[in-house]
Amino acid sequence: AQKVTQAQTEISVVEKEDVTLDCVYETRDTTYYLFWYKQPPSGELVFLIRRNSFDEQNEISGRYSWNFQKSTSSFNFTITASQVVDSAVYFCALNPMDSNYQLIWGAGTKLIIKP
Amino acid sequence: NAGVTQTPKFQVLKTGQSMTLQCAQDMNHNSMYWYRQDPGMGLRLIYYSASEGTTDKGEVPNGYNVSRLNKREFSLRLESAAPSQTSVYFCASSILFPGLADQETQYFGPGTRLLVL
């Protein structure tokens, strides 16, 4: 089965706290891409990161970091020192190489940052 | 460089009416996609076009048709709108070219909110 699970439906934290959004995926392919997208209250979908299955290096971009672990089929996303502007729905997605270009989406995690 | 644009931004239809949602991209991408997003849910693929001249069904194609007019434009048509088609519709595009840094990354338009009464 090809599947993406974001078990956290909603997370609420106070500003400046660190928060981790979980993403667990299933695929039979050895080559695939993983993505994170952000959907703020305004509704647009913003691309955050793409990770190739052969590259397990963690990635850091400012306050954002991603931890990719093939051993546990996880691609978790951490926001350090969260800010109110980080409030959004975050989607994790999988692109297996045999998917005929179709992304397999998680259900999303709604992140609420309280001031 | 506008990226992916969609028109209209918002539309209200009566059951049975038809309409076409327009999408254009200026990133020279070869693949384009139409998704729908219902409240509290992720995205579901309606149709996609891997390259100019080809279209294929996605997860939820019933009630929709598409046209890949040229490399830039990909339209979605509702022939006879139904209340179940009330949703937010997103168009996306991507490039499929081995070795490119953003290969297969889908970039999205701002969305079209459709209400069918």
Q: What percent of chain A has pLDDT over 70?
A: 97
pLDDT digits (tens, 9 = 90+) for A25-50: 999 888 899 999 999 999 999 999 99
- What band does A102 get if pLDDT is binned at 50, 70 and 90? confident
The C-alpha atoms of residue B9 and residue A9 are separated, in whole angstroms, by: 28
The C-alpha atoms of residue B88 and residue B41 are separated, in whole angstroms, by: 11
Residue B38 contacts A where some CB pair is shorter than 8 Å: no
Which one, of A92, A99, A82, lies nearest residue A18 by Cα?
A82
**Chain A residues near residue B44 by CB distance under 8 angstroms:** 105
Sign of the CA dihedral A39, A43, A47, A53?
positive
**Chain B residues near residue A35 by CB distance under 8 angstroms:** 105-106
Q: Which residues contact B99 (CB under 8 A, 6 or more apart)?
A: none
Distance from CA of B51 to the nearest CA of A (A): 11
List the structure tokens of A66.
């991603």
The mean-pLDDT minimum among A50-64, B40-54, B91-105 falls in B91-105
What is the length of chain B? 117
Distance from CA of A107 to the nearest CA of B (A): 5
pLDDT digits (tens, 9 = 90+) for B49-69: 988 989 999 999 999 999 998
Question: Residue A35 forms beta bridges with which residues?
Answer: A50, A93
A-proximal residues of B, 69-108, CB under 8 Å: 88, 90, 92, 94, 96, 102, 104-108
Residue in chain B nearest A34 by alpha carbon:
B105
Q: How many CB atoms lie within 10 A of CB B8?
A: 11
Residue of A103, A104, A109, A110 for testing the chain B interface, max B β-carbons within 10 Å: A103
- What band does B105 get if pLDDT is binned at 50, 70 and 90? confident
What integer pLDDT is reported at residue A99 of this predicted model?
61
Distance from CA of B48 to the nearest CA of A (A): 8
